[in-house]
Structure 1
Amino acid sequence: MSRSGWNARAPINSTSVPLSDRTGITVHHSATPPSATPRSIQDHHMDTDHLAPGRAWDIGYNYLIDQHGKIYEGRGLNTVGAHAPGGNTQTIGICVIGDYHSSLPTHEARVSLLALIFHISGAAGEYFIFYGHTNWISTACPGNALYNFLRLLFDGMGLPGRIPPGHDHGNGGDPFANWMEQLIMSLPTLQQGSTGAGVRRVQGLCVAHGGTARHEIESTGGIDGHFGPGTDRAVRAVQSDGAPTVDGIVGRITWTKLITG
């Protein structure tokens, strides 16, 4: 949604930056109820000088995403943000509206976040680096659950931010959907008895999923790379939340559910 669509106030000032100078994306959460609006966040940033003296020109983020997966234009792609001290020029700030210390954003918000990162990276033709707000200053933002979830995806898994230049401009279909399908197909099928990095990623995503899945991992050895009975129960807990088969096997459907919810 454009700025006019959410009735944004006019910025007091702005500084342009070419996309070629961008090297990363910084993810935030608003630490508000998920019903908060971009306009209420903008008012807070501008009226309380929340962003530091002299920087409250506008909403601090370049983009925002709500719980329904709707993407809102903040400062936009080519304007320096005010969201991460030391990282405002080189990174694009994306805020997921809500509080994600102990739970993940909705399926719709997660898919929109990954799609937005993918398309920004593709437009830039760069291997973008993922940051959480916490990587720039001492803060709990973007929340433990969201940060750990994204870190698991970005660390060596080939998710957006590590896509080849120009990958966003494929022939036909939805490039993000095509890429997501290729990613899921490249992941290993895992089950009780499996070991290694893939199992650690499954365990970490189960922890990020929360609830019974998190409890089973944390109470049976943690993220140790061994797919034992506790991990089996954790996977089944994830599968029981809408998956067609509850069998403890991590295949394409379960990987998709772990990643997108």
Structure 2
Amino acid sequence: MLTFFKSKYYLKDLIPNDYIDIHNHLLPGIDDGAKTVAETTILIARMKEINIAGAIATPHTYKGYWNNRASSIKNAYDNATEINSNTSFLKGYASEYMLDATLIERINKETLLYIQNPYILVELPLFNNPIDLYEMLFELKSKEYKIIIAHPERYLYFHNDFRKFNKLKASGVYFQLNLLSLTGYYGKEIQKIAETLLENDMYDFTGTDIHNEKHIDELIKKPILFSKKNKIGDLLQKNTVFNNSSFFKYNVT
């Protein structure tokens, strides 16, 4: 009797040597990620285990939850990079901005933190579709930002109609895949949507969205079952463009 096995592999075997993570919560004490510099150092050491060469730190900025400013993010970055082993890994800092009315107010008063000029990382509410989504995206684009949408596969209100993903992508934004989505960490439905977006070449970049060691354990130990291994490898390679770039750092007093 013949038995057929679905191919499986691990992300650590696909991540290129010069891979830069552009979505994570490594900076200490300013959001729901690392709480201390010691924890930051541990997370960085563990990320190196899966061949991640470096990261641009992206703590949350979300009014009412994580009221970060450029100054608080810079301070956390400076604290983290006082440890020599962290300095070479942390290539710069930006933020994962919640797209809401307060962000639109902010862009009229100050410059947002770039992942790399002019790319910014933006998240949407997980459960409620903003009714003015495209108006807010227009406002950001009018400031000449290039918008990377964090983990589009996790926005449940797009799941019932794939054309919603097509419309969002057609608006001129970039899609960033959470690597944890491919392991089933957020559930089978989100994993399936991630695989469909990947199959249709909708993603532009990837990120770990690491908050803690549990996330790293998942990336190390959980196999990927998506059949087209080369598509994941090609997508991971796109992040290497951030490796040799001059990252924008704010001089904040």
Please give the TM-score of this superposition, normalised by the length of structure 2.
0.24
Higher RCO, 1 vs 2 (CA within 8 Å, ≥6 residues apart):
2
Please give the TM-score of this superposition, normalised by the length of structure 1.
0.24
Which is richer in strand? 2
Q: Flag the structure with larger Rg.
A: 1
